[in-house]
């Protein structure tokens, strides 16, 4: 009986957080507060939350919570910042007369356990220009790096993956 009540609480909480998250995405994409668009966004977000909230945990994702949503939003900001900085760095290397690059392949370690968390880390690394994830082997990621600063696994992990992983650990804990 107590477990059924807890499951219902989790379902309702997942529904509420999923609805809120979808509605915030709607607002961010439309950038409009006209009542007609708010009603459409509310309706679509509600409908998608009704359809998807039961299957959310089957995806292997952690249960939704306020802390995870906040960290996910912060993660998106950090990812965007890192993409911009990496673009500037690669552009500098392209226009520099001596083209200062030292390409190579390095291995980094991750403490992430879930496959989806590792995939998000790998894709985040690939999205930042100058790095490309070649493979995920257990707790290691094989990365092509445009300017290898260290072949040491711990140092490369700190330089490449740590900036993303600290947020993903909280999101997928």
Q: What pLDDT is stored for residue 53 in this prediction?
A: 75
Q: What is the pLDDT of residues 47-73, one digit of tens each?
A: 998 888 777 666 666 767 788 888 988
Residue 102 to residues 7, 31, 106, 137, Cα–Cα distance (Å):
53, 42, 12, 24
DSSP 8-state assignment for residue 64: P
Q: How far apart are CA 11 and CA 7, in angstroms?
A: 6
Tell me what pLDDT residue 109 has.
94
Positions in the chain whose pLDDT score sits under 50: none
Q: Model-level pTM?
A: 0.72
pLDDT number for residue 172: 84
Q: Confirm if 146 and 101 have CB atoms less than 8 A apart.
A: yes
The span from the CA of 47 to the CA of 20, in Å, is 12
Query: What pLDDT, on the 0 to 100 scale, is given for residue 123?
Result: 94
> How far apart are alpha carbons 121 and 132 in whole angstroms?
11
Instruction: Please state the domain extents for the chain.
Output: 2-64, 69-171
pLDDT of residue 60: 62
């Amino acid at each position: 009986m107590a477990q059924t009540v807890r499951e219902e609480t989790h379902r309702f909480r997942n529904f509420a957080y999923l609805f809120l998250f979808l509605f915030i995405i709607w607002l961010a994409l439309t950038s409009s507060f006209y009542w007609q668009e708010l009603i459409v966004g509310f309706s679509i977000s509600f409908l998608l939350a009704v359809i998807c909230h039961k299957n959310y945990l089957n995806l292997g994702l952690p249960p939704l919570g306020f802390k995870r949503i906040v960290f996910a939003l912060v993660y998106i900001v950090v990812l965007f910042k890192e993409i911009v900085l990496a673009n500037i760095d690669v552009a500098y290397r392209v226009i520099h007369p001596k083209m200062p690059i030292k390409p190579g392949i390095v291995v980094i370690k991750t403490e992430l356990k879930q496959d989806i968390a590792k995939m998000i880390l790998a894709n985040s690394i690939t999205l930042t220009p100058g790095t490309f994830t070649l493979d995920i082997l257990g707790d290691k990621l094989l990365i092509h790096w445009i300017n290898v600063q260290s072949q040491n696994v711990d140092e490369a992990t700190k330089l490449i993956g740590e900036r993303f992983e600290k947020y993903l650990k909280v999101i997928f804990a």
